[in-house]
Each structure stands twice: as C-alpha cells, then as structure tokens.
Chain A
Amino acid sequence: MSQLITTPRLVEAGTSNTSHIGKPTSRVEGPAKVTGTAKYSAEFNVPDMLYGYVVTSPITKGRITKINTEPVLALAGVVQIFSHENVPSLAWFDRSYKDDVAPGGSPFRPLHDNEIKFNMQPVALVVAETFEVARYAASVLEIEYAEDKFDTNIDLKRDEGHEPGSGKTGFMPPPPPRGNPNDALKNATHRIEGEYIHGAQHHNPMEMFATTVEYHPDGKITAYDKTQGVYNVQQYITKIFGLSKDQARVVNHYMGGGFGSGLRPQYQVFLAVLAALELKQSVRVSLTRQQMFSFGHRPHTLQYLKMGTNPDGTLAALHHHALHETSRFEEYTENVVNWSGMLYQCENVKLGYQVAELDVYTPLDMRAPGAATGSFGLEVAMDEMAYAAGIDPLDFRIRNYAEQDQNMKKPFSSKKLRECYHEGATRFGWDKRTPEPRSMREGNQLIGWGMAGGVWDASMQKAAAKATFTADGKLLVQSAAGENGTGTYTIMTQIAAETLGLPIEAVTFELGDTNMPEAPVQGGSWTAASVGSAVKNVCTDIGEKLLKLAQKMEGSPLKGASIDDVHFADGQIRLSANPSEAVVVRDILAASGEEKLEAETSAMPNLIKQQPYSMHSHNAVFAEVRVDEDLGTVHVTRVVNAVAAGRILNTKTARSQVLGSVVWGISMALMEETVMDHTFGRYMNHNYAEYHIPVNADIHDIDVIFVEEEDDKVNPLGVKGIGEVGMLGVAAAITNAVYHATGKRVRELPIYMDKLL
C-alpha cells in the first residue's frame, strides 16, 4: 500500500459536465469506421489463410446424384472440396444445431446429406489458396441432381395453413377470441374487410456474411464472424464440432448492418469452421450478394382483416388472420396479429395465425418481425374503416385508444401514444388535410396524406458486463453485445461515463467477443435496456469500491456516506447533500495504492416489478405522397414519425435509427420484394440491381419526434428500445396516403406504378 495521501480538493457545486445520457453524443466508433481501422469479419487477415467459395444448388428439391470433384481438385491452387460426401461425423442430434433464436423443428445442416431442401442451398465448399481460384473452381464444379416436385407458392397453400405447434423465443400465440366477434361484426353499423399482402423481403445489409476462422497452433480457433450474437455462434459451433468453449472464441466488433439477418448463425460460419478444423489451417468464407438471398427472409404473408364500428365510431369487432410461409424443416413464427388485440380498444376480437410449409429456406426475423407486417394490415384496414365510418383517420384512432392491454388484461407501464398522435399531427399539419380522396393536387401530382402507427415490446434480457478502472483515470467496460450500426458503443460509453462522472474520452466500451461477459443476441430492441442496465450496474459496483477507498483517505469528507448519499460528477464523488464536499476520483487509486479496480456483474429484468404491467413502445407516422395522376409513380415527400419509447439515451443515434426505419418503411411500401419464379422455386431478382431499396433521390423530408415518456417499471434506465418501433406503420401510412391521393386502395405491397394505372 502506498502511503501517499492526497488531500481532497474543494470543488464548486454546480451543473455537471459529465451528464451524458440523453445528449446527442457522436458515435465514439465513428473515426475508426471512417478511417478504415474498424475491422469487419472478412477483413481480419491472418497468415497462411485459405479461401472458401460456396457452391449452391440450382434446383429446389431433390438429391445430389454425383459430384465430379476430380478435375476441380486437380486445378492448381485448389486445396479441398467439402460436400456431404466427405464431411466428417458431426453432432447427431437436432439440439446441437439449435441456436438461441432457432424456431421449432430440425435446423438445416449444411452438407449433411445429398438431399436438396431449397433453392440455392449450399452443397459444397471449394477451398483454395486464393479467393479467385476458389471462385473459378466453384464455377466449374459439376454436380448432378435428381429433381423432385416442389411447392414454393403460398398462394396455393391457403387451405393448408396450420397453427404452429411450437414457437421460438419471443413468440406468443394469439390470445383466444374475446367477446363475441362474429355477432358483433354482423351487427356493426359499418364494416370493411380485405386481404393485405406483401411478398418475401431479404435483409440485404450492405456487408455480406463472412467468417474468417483463425486456426491457432494449439488447435484452438478464433472465428471472426458476421453475427448479432457471438455467444449464440459460439454455442452453435462448439456443440456441432465438439469443441469446448475455450477452444472456440467468436469475435464481432462491427457489422455493416444486420437487421435480424445475423441473429442466427449463418451457414458460412459452419463451413469456415469445418474447413479450418479439417485442414488445420485458417480459412475465410465470404458469401456473394446473390448468396445473401439464400437464407432467411421476411416471409411472404397473407393477412385477412374484418372490422366493424358502432354508431359512435368505436370499434365493434376486429378480426385479423395471418398466414405465412415456413420451411419444411423448421416452423418459423413471429407475432403478426397479436398487436391488433392491444393497439385499439375493442371488446370483440378474433385473432388467427397460421403457417404453411413450402420448399424454401426458413424465414428469419427481419426488423420489427411480425409487427412490420401486422401493422401494415391493421393500419390500412383502420384507414378503410375510418373512411367507411366517415371519420378522420386520426380521430378514429383516438376514439379507439386503448387505455389498457386487452390481450394481457394489464395496464401499460407507460403509454404516450396519444402524445405521439398529437405532436406528430401538429408537426405534420394534419388539420389542414381535406378528407376526400383526390382532393389535394398540384398540376399532374395528386397529393395524399395518410397516417398509421404501431406498438412494439419493451423487452429486457439478462446481460453481463465487466468494468476495469485504472489509476490513470480510465474506465474500460466490456460486454459481448452487438453493434450493427445502431449506436451500442456510444450509448454504453455514455451510460458508463455518466454513472461514474467521467468524461466520454475517459471511457472505452468494448463488445462482441466471447472472452467478454455474456450478452444476449442483439435483437428485439432490447440491447439498450439489457446491456445498458448491466453497464450501469457494473459501473455502480466500481463506484462503491471507489467510495470505500475514498472514505479511507485522510480527511475524506465522504466518511460514513453510503452509495445513496453520493453522486459521481465531473470526475468527483460528491456528497449529494453538499456537493462541495467531494473527492477527485483519479486521486482515489493513487491514495490507495491500488493499480486498478475490477467488477463484473449482470442485470436481469425485475420480474416482480414488471409482472403487473404490459410494457410497450408506440409510434404514430404521418406521410405525404405525390402520385403522378397518369403515370402512377409515387414519391414520399414528407414523413413525420413520433415515437414514445421511454428514455432516449442519445438523441443523435436514436434519430438516425428512426430515420433508417422510415427509409425502410418507404422501401417496404414502394420497392422491396424478392420475386420467386415458382417454375424454378428460385428468387429471380437476387442482386442489388433488381432488388430495389431507395436511393437518396427517393428520400425527402423525414422528421423524427421523441415524445417524452418516463417509465420506472421497464428497467432502471427507463429505456424501451427503438430498433423496431420506428418502422411500424410507415408502409401503412404511405399506403393510406396513396389512397387519399388517388382514391385507389392498394392492399398488396410494394406499390409499383403498375398498381395505380
């Protein structure tokens, strides 16, 4: 122990410069990203690396009858070809292949046998000394197939849907009917019904899936993998390949977008690990853009809604049924219809949810899974209902405002949707809208205003974090969380810095490594709540240790104070009752002689506190479109999105996230669809040229409002997460605006010009 005693310095009380939460702090990893030092999975270069190139099936169903590997193996630079013919014996049971986010059923096992279950199924991995050789070799590898008949068209399976027998994490079967939905509909004053459809959509993050497996001399591996959950990938590969956790480290520091596509381990990580272990050499496998269409997608979904109103414009009955595709081997589920039972007050509700098996790959959670789909159907139907009842669409929603969650029969922990409606409508100028379709125009342009909204879960999962505070006054916080571009690095840095009263620059947050404490997969909008709470807890633990040491300092003004009696600000521990009584944090370790303080802890949802409540975020979206009267082209010229999602940790990164959501909503409304040719069972527009997402010229004014919402039940931070909620209702608001502009009710996305001619 050092004998150095530092006299506590007197400081002036006043506002803190280390209050960071809620501030528009710029991305802490921004410089690394724009200078290229941020490394993505395919950018880790290790010595003696081999390159794998995936060969995919051109057929949809059947069997591989022959693989002619010999001439390809003879090519210079080709090292090995992996296929079902030479894959070593791996784990036997389905449970070994199930990841944290797997739905029910038997997960797809790459190269397991000669059976083809879906088009573009990976059937071989060609490994070579260079990527170019591997790619060329893959292009000349001859594989013969025997084809079977297949079904890929959900339209032909309308009668074969069934309720899913199992679910995946987060899936809630719809509640049983309430009230008397059939009679109530029959007796309603006004009624509407309609079918609402969107096709398959693929996530298409900019960064392609890739894994670089570094093979260490002791036989251990490090997998730099594109994933939203390093622990999920670690348990997947360790179970399949019979490795212990210390033999397989999984790392992901940065993602060029995920949107849900990285929730489950993708087949490239399996193939890269397989090749590295078999060849005892480092291997990288990168997918091509075309191959990005060979796995999960937002399922092609058919929704049927019926609604009726009472004479006073309240909802008399609501029926919402959804049917979507799943694969033959897994039963993918998402919550499509449940939202309809909770967004509006209605005593007579019937919700139905079915899936049908097709010869496709298993669908996969894609931003706001289920809710993006359900809010499209529900909110377009609500617009139709409002028109049928002769009520303004906004007024109609306010008349049917749900004060409690009727699905759960619980009050909301907080719900500021009314404020979203009000603030959004005011900003948009909704009161200037003339309700008649085709009543607003300029020249050839029909102008339409539409609105919609949505609801998403405020969830929290168990997460852990570790903190190390060193004598130089720096704080390092680590958790194996994900950062797919949303701002995780930044908000965790803010939380840690504020908890210990430090400047942003004194804090480093690291993530995405199985050598760090465990965090859940980054999804469900729960990272801010879950990892944020763990970071806050672990920093509070460090704070307690600092306080104890500070109290040992000679003349310490903090003697006898408990952690609740002090606060951390401006690099000091201050007595809350008299902030001028303080100790400088940097002096504490010096005084104690300790080189560093460490803490590791976790955070869990407080189930007892949460149990009485339904916890959700909400939003209201207002959109303006201009439709060319003759040509049917649609431009979304204005969007206002008002979001109530609890406390906003960083107004800058949060706004960016909602801007992205709105852009995606515009994309869903006007452009996105993966089109399958059912003759081949193959997605035909499997590239960026033909799978359209907006370009800058498609995006005009987007206004994001965060409505103030305090919530002390969801978690100690009061955050609800914003990853999904911003996207809800955007496609519906645009669809409704198109109706207002043109008088044409489109019920199938995307709204290409064809549909408005």
Chain B
Amino acid sequence: MNSFTYTSATAVDAAVREKSTNSKAAFVAGGTNLLDLMKENVERPTRLIGLNKLSDLATIENNPEGGLRLGALATNADTAWHPEVEKRYPLLSQTILAGASPQLRNMATNGGNLMQRTRCYYFYDLATPCNKREPGSGCSALNGFNRIHAILGASEHCIATYPSDMAVALAALEATVRVSGPQGERTIAFADFHRLPGDHPEIDNTLETGELITALDLPAQGFEKNFTYLKLRDRTSYAFAVVSVAVGLELEGNVIKEARIALGGVAHKPWRVVAVEETLRGATATEDNFREAATALLRDAQGYGSNNFKIELAKRAVVRALKQATEMNQPLDANAFLNSNP
C-alpha cells in the first residue's frame, strides 16, 4: 500500500475542487472497495478525500418528482431498512440486502456502491495483464478463466462485469444520478452512468473529472406490488452474482402495463433492453411471453468459454424472476421461501 494523505471534506464544493485539481486524489466514504484495491496496489491514490462528514448527503427524503431522494452518503444498510424504501421501493430494499454482508452494508454508501470496480481476478492481480488496470497490457480473461465474466456488451479489450447488486435495481427503477462537479450540478440517467468497456475499459462510468455523486433520485413508480430480485450465486450469502435479475411489473389483472427487467453479473453495467420491455407492455403475464422476452434479452449474448452457461442461465433466471414477480401477490405455498432463494 502506498503512503497517502487523508483529509476530511467539510463541504461538497471544496471536495470537488480538491479532487479536480489532483489527479492522484480519490474520494473515500465507506471504503469497502477502495481500501481493498489499495492493499492490492491496484489503486494508488496519494490523497484521500474523506466524505463522511458531509452529513447533508446522508439523508433520505421525498423529491419533487414524487419519488425518493437517496443521499449518496446514506449507507446501504440505512437505505435498505428505511421505512419509505421498504414500502415504496421494496425491490431496491431486497436487492441491497442480497449483496455483501451486514458489516459491509453498514459501511458502504449509496454513492460508493455505484463506484465499485469489477471483481475480475486479473484486474486484482498485478502479476497478470489487464487493460482495465493497465490500458494496452491485454485482457487475460478473454482466453483465461472467465466463468464470472460478461456475456453482453463486452469488447475484445475487456470482458469484466460490474459487481453491484443495488445498481441492478436502480437500473430497473430508472433512477437518476445527481452529481456535483467543477461546472456545477447535473443529473445523469442511470442507464448512462456506467459505460461499456469498448476501447477504454479503464473508464467505468461517465463522471467527469472531479465530479461527486450527491444523490440518487428514484421516480414515483416503485413497482411495489410486483417485483423480484433473483440473485444466483455460488453460495447463499457473501458472494457476487453469477447472474442476477431485477424485475418490476405493473399488472392489471393478468395484463402487463409496464415491465422493467435489469440483469446483473452479465455485463460491464446493469443490462437493460428497453425494446424488450416494450414488447411485454400489453402482453399477458404468461410463461411463454416471459420466455420470449428472455430470449430477446439474451439474443446478442456471447460466451467466452467458462461462462457460456451464463447465457442459458440468464434466460431461465429472467423467466423465473418474471414469474415470481407476477405471482407474488398470490397465496404463498409452503415452498415460497426456497423458491425465492435459489
């Protein structure tokens, strides 16, 4: 680990100014990923700008659009257990609680969650080439051990996945990311926040130099009646998703008024295809229609060897998630617990 200096920011604009004038500076809040990366020498900031005293950013309150504003510094735990989140956005609550461990969720913040970096083995191991860590050095995963890697939207330079659970729900909910930067404040649609690797896998998102996430805005529609987050992983807790699916449905009887489907663990960002969701609008909630949607969602998927199975797994997961979301207001049977926790 490098030596670094640490200062605790007391105002957003000062923090932004400091970060934008120092290319070796990094913001730190919960530190649940950054400190790991520093210990592994993957990241070597020389200055850490602590954010935890910016308590204005830790609130959760109504926003003017009839939705909820989640402060960037509210912890994942406080967000997941917030009464308004539980009531109006149970999909988000469930999704956050499917990630990490209680200890990590107590430290991790909402803004930091979006800033997580990939869990690709090669990215973390300085002994192997990695374009994301060291542009131009090559992608070891492409022909290596890539069971946990991307099947959608990857490039020849990088097949890493983005690891967050929370972001998958935020994508489905069409959240907006509020940021403060040297040029002032702006908002970024969630779908535009993370980027695909393309020729620059070292860049994870569309934040400009010095920009700081201040809040996440949730729109009014929370799909609180019919939703599910289905997370498939190699152990029941404390593991990243092999494939995950966040679904929000608005149903009128058996007819789908609105559908959102976002996939995690399959791409460099939460994966959504709006056109596929549109085909479900007005369709009946049947397994056949779900399967058709799943097939369409995965149409362009490509495996790289060890992760070929993810294509079929993702299709089945989408079908299951849509079924679970549809059936959730029907009487529970004895297997409900196991069925919802594959």
Contact = CB atoms under 8 A, between A and B. Distances in A.
Interface of A: 58-59, 119, 132, 135-136, 139, 442-445, 626, 628, 630-633, 635, 670-671, 675, 677, 679-680, 682, 684-687, 689-690, 692-698, 752-754, 757
B275 interface: no
A165 B336 CA distance: 57
B339 A680 contact: no
B257 interface: no
A164 B283 CA distance: 67
Nearest to B120: A684
A692 B145 contact: no
A445 B320 CA distance: 13
Contacts of A675: 145
Nearest to A696: B237
Given A679-B144, A682-B125, A690-B119, A757 B342 contact: no
Contacts of B333: 443
Interface in B32-70: 41
B235 A694 contact: yes
Contacts of A135: 1
Main secondary structure of the interface of B (DSSP, over half): loop
Given A679-B144, A692-B235, A685 B121 contact: yes
Interface in B78-127: 119, 121-122, 124-127
A633 B342 contact: yes
| 7 interchain residue pairs of minimum CB distance | A58-B127, A697-B236, A443-B335, A684-B121, A628-B342, A754-B309, A633-B342
Nearest to A699: B236
Nearest to A634: B342
Nearest to B129: A680
Main secondary structure of the interface of A (DSSP, over half): loop
Contacts of A698: 235-237
Contact of A631 (B3, B126, B140, B317): B317
For chain B, give the interface size range.
35 or more
B128 interface: yes
B237 A697 contact: yes
A631 B316 contact: yes
A633 B140 CA distance: 28
Nearest to B101: A695
Nearest to A631: B342
A679 B143 contact: yes
Given A442-B334, A675-B145, A757-B313, A630 B127 contact: no
A105 B144 CA distance: 32
Interface string B306-342: 0001001100110110000000000001110011001
B75 to A, nearest CB: 20
21 contacts: A136-B1, A136-B2, A443-B333, A444-B342, A445-B338, A626-B338, A631-B232, A631-B317, A632-B313, A671-B234, A677-B128, A677-B140, A677-B145, A680-B127, A682-B127, A682-B128, A695-B237, A752-B234, A753-B242, A753-B309, A757-B313
Contacts of A670: 234-235
B216 to A, nearest CB: 26
B143 A443 contact: no
Contacts of B239: 692
Nearest to B148: A690
B312 A757 contact: yes
A416 to B, nearest CB: 35
Contacts of A695: 235-238
B125 A671 contact: no
A694 B235 CA distance: 7
B145 A444 contact: no
Contacts of B122: 684
A631 B320 contact: yes
A161 to B, nearest CB: 24
Nearest to B317: A631
A697 B41 CA distance: 32
A643 to B, nearest CB: 26
Contacts of A58: 126-127
Contact of B313 (A631, A686, A692): A631
B210 to A, nearest CB: 28
Contacts of A679: 140, 143-144
Nearest to B309: A754
B31 to A, nearest CB: 16
Nearest to A633: B342
A753 B121 contact: no
B339 A444 contact: yes
Contacts of B342: 444, 628, 631, 633
A132 B39 CA distance: 11
Contacts of A443: 333, 335, 338-339
A116 B128 CA distance: 17
A153 to B, nearest CB: 12
Given A631-B320, A682-B128, A753 B145 contact: no
A139 B239 CA distance: 28
Given A684-B121, A687-B124, A698-B235, 17 more contacts: A119-B127, A139-B2, A442-B334, A443-B333, A445-B335, A630-B320, A635-B338, A670-B235, A679-B140, A679-B144, A680-B140, A680-B144, A682-B125, A685-B121, A695-B235, A695-B236, A754-B309
Contacts of A626: 338
Contacts of A689: 119, 240
Contacts of B319: 630
A684 B147 CA distance: 12
A692 B234 contact: yes
B99 to A, nearest CB: 13
A136 B39 CA distance: 9
Contacts of B335: 442-445
Nearest to A686: B125
Contacts of A633: 232, 342
B316 A630 contact: yes
Interface string B222-264: 0000000000101111111010000000000000000000000
Contacts of A754: 147, 309, 313
A682 B127 CA distance: 9
A136 B147 CA distance: 32
B6 to A, nearest CB: 14
B133 to A, nearest CB: 14
A698 B235 CA distance: 7
- Chain A CB count within 10 A is highest, among B1, B128, B338, for B338
Nearest to B230: A631
A634 to B, nearest CB: 10
A687 B120 CA distance: 12
A443 B323 CA distance: 13
Nearest to A698: B236
- Chain A CB count within 10 A is highest, among B232, B317, B334, for B232
B135 to A, nearest CB: 19
A58 B140 CA distance: 14
A753 B314 CA distance: 12
A757 B309 contact: yes
Contacts of A139: 1-2, 41
Contacts of B240: 689
A671 B235 contact: yes
Contacts of A696: 237
A684 B316 contact: no
Contacts of B235: 670-671, 692-695, 697-698
Nearest to B308: A754
Nearest to A627: B342
Nearest to A755: B309
Nearest to A694: B235
B3 A136 contact: yes
Contact of A690 (B121, B317, B338): B121
